[in-house]
Amino acid sequence: MLINKTDTVIIDKTSSVATDMVSPLIDVLVIPAKMVAKGYDYFKDLKQIHQDNIRLREENRRLQMVYDRFRALEVENKLLSNLLNYVTPPRSDFVTARVIAEEGDAFSHSMIAYIGNENVKKGQVALSDRGVIGRVDKVGQRYVKIILITDINSKIPVMVEKSRIRGILSGDNSTMPKLIFIPLDAKVNVGDRIVTSGVAGVFPAGLPIGKVIKVSKNEIVVKPFSSLEQLEYIRLVDYGLEGILDNTRETFQEDK
């Protein structure tokens, strides 16, 4: 019995000493495992955040479009509330195109977009998720050339959304188009939103374009809502409006 008791004490003492010696070593050995586990959880959370970010950006894009349309309808409703026989805006079809090239120099501001086999016509409106960026100028077999609102040849009938003052948005090959041909006594203020007026039947009324950022005696500068240099995908919308444009299919030579 004495020997058995002694063996138990020795075993317990040996186990305690061994535990004290091995425990720090185990702590060191499990560090990589902990790091791997934390890394896995981090990248898992990061993937979820990325997916949530994509979803939220898409929701934000849709909400921005709804908001812009709501603002246009709100103003139109005030003007048309006492009118009869109001003709609703035309229905639209659109094609999504991918921007593959940009041309921005002292002579022109345009871009090339890939449309594949989709049917696109000259004069169709080019939109981003923020508003008007230009219109289709030339059509190829798989690509289209879009003249941007900043191009010197771009002239768009527009109006100040709140006051309904009409004018022309004219590009000058800078990054900011100018508002011209407005009444001399018109009051245009910094921050005013500029939308299409629908005059000439090329663009439907109420499409957002930009806001006024500078008003001086010589010029009124408009900043587009869309960052034209950062576009990846755009929409080419057919509102069924021919207006004064010659819709003859004008092609351009595609680089092979």
Contact 250, 141 (CB under 8 A): no
What pLDDT is stored for residue 35 in this prediction? 73
Asked if residue 54 has pLDDT above 90, the reply is no
Average per-residue pLDDT for the chain: 81
Mean pLDDT across the stretch 48-54? 84
Say which amino acid occupies 38: K
**pLDDT band of 199, cuts 50, 70, 90:** confident
**pLDDT band of 60, cuts 50, 70, 90:** confident
CB atoms within 10 A of CB 112: 20
pTM of the model: 0.64
What pLDDT is stored for residue 256 in this prediction? 42
Q: What is the 3-state secondary structure (H, E, C) of the chain?
A: CHHHHHHHHHHHHHHHHHHHHHHHHHHHHHHHHHHHHHHHHHHHHHHHHHHHHHHHHHHHHHHHHHHHHHHHHHHHHHHHCCCCCCCCCCCCEEEEEEEEEEEECCCCEEEEEECCCCCCCCCCEEECCCCEEEEEEEECCCEEEEEECCCCCCEEEEEECCCCCEEEEECCCCCCCEEECCCCCCCCCCCCEEEECCHHHCCCCCCEEEEEEEECCCCEEEEECCCHHHCCEEEEEECCCCCCCCCCCCCCCCCC
Asked if residue 85 has pLDDT above 60, the reply is no
Higher pLDDT, 177 or 184: 177
Asked if residue 191 has pLDDT above 80, the reply is yes
Mean pLDDT across the stretch 18-47? 67
Dist CA 211 CA 188 (whole Å): 11
